[in-house]
Structure 1
Amino acid sequence: MILLATIALLLTLNLDKFTRGGASFKARSTEVEHELGRIRELQEGYRSAHGTYASSLDSLGFRTMPDAVFRYFIVHADSFTFEARAEALRDFDGDGTLEVWRIDHTGRITCERKD
């Protein structure tokens, strides 16, 4: 009986660690990929209307959800290219590293730094 209780406790601790790091990464990546994809769609519409990509999210009318876990911003924009980034608002696993994602004008989304 004590052995079963010990195993259950160890599984609970490991499950908590997995949820903070692994499963929640999947949820975060889904959010950030959706939002960066939305920025790209808005950028393409803006470029069609103005002949250049927008240099700010305000120009695109982009707003995040109140419970967003990333901050989004435009790094670079001109007539031919743009780059937008998403930076985590908190350190998810407590290691001192913030997660960073990016998208460019081709629509390629990459995780530059995983937390």
Structure 2
Amino acid sequence: MHASRLTRKIPAFNLQEMLIVLAIIGILLLIALPNLMPLITKAKSVEAQTQLKALYNAQTTYRYMYSKFTTDFNELDFEPPKTVNNNGTANYKYEIIEATNSTFKARAEAITDFNGNGVFNVWEIDENGVPKQTVKD
């Protein structure tokens, strides 16, 4: 007689309902993810632009002091950030391609294919100080 009072049913979801909800969420993610990839790539490219601007500033300072640009990071007191391959956080590798008395060119090349299409994002900067995307991911 008292047992019926103790066994009350608590409202909850059953396993089938939970699996259906998870399947719907999965399908929505598959639909939305391709649309989000350009935004992810754009956000990650901010790193390249910021580092290239810092490199430009270091090159400009070096040129004021020595009347030329340099290809040596050590002379610029610029240390490229460690990449994710080397236990760092950077998604780009940096290099100074060329440097003369009046011009220089530096490149940031992605080490990760952000959207999985086989193309790696590349940014460049020169003595004008404006980062340009040369290869779009």
Same fold judged by TM-score > 0.5? yes
Partner of 2:93 in structure 1?
71
SS at match of 2:53: helix
Alignment RMSD, CA only? 2.0
Q: Which runs of 5+ in 1 are unaligned?
A: none
Point out the structure with max Rg over C-alpha: 2
Q: Contact conserved, 2:59 with 2:70, CA < 8 A, in 1?
A: yes
Partner of 1:87 in structure 2?
109
Q: Which runs of 5+ in 2 are unaligned?
A: 1-16, 82-87
Q: How many residues align?
A: 112
Partner of 2:62 in structure 1?
46
Q: Indicate yes or no: 2:33 matched with 1:27.
A: no
Q: 1:61 is aligned with what amino acid?
A: D
TM-score normalised by length of structure 2: 0.72
Q: Deviations over 1:43-98 (max 9, x none)?
A: 00110111100112232121233210000101111110111000011222222221
Q: 1:76 is aligned with what amino acid?
A: E
Q: Which moved more, 1:40-49 or 1:9-18?
A: 9-18
Task: Label 1:18 to 1:63 Cα distance change in 2 as closer, same or farther (>3 A).
Answer: farther
Partner of 1:60 in structure 2?
76
TM-score normalised by length of structure 1: 0.84
Q: Contact conserved, 1:53 with 1:82, CA < 8 A, in 2?
A: yes
Report the identity percentage.
31
1:10-25 to 2 correspondence within 5 Å? Answer: 10-19=27-36, 21-25=37-41
Q: Distance in 2 between matches of 1:58 and 1:89?
A: 22
SS at match of 1:59: helix
Q: 2:27 is aligned with what amino acid?
A: L
Q: Contact conserved, 1:72 with 1:87, CA < 8 A, in 2?
A: yes
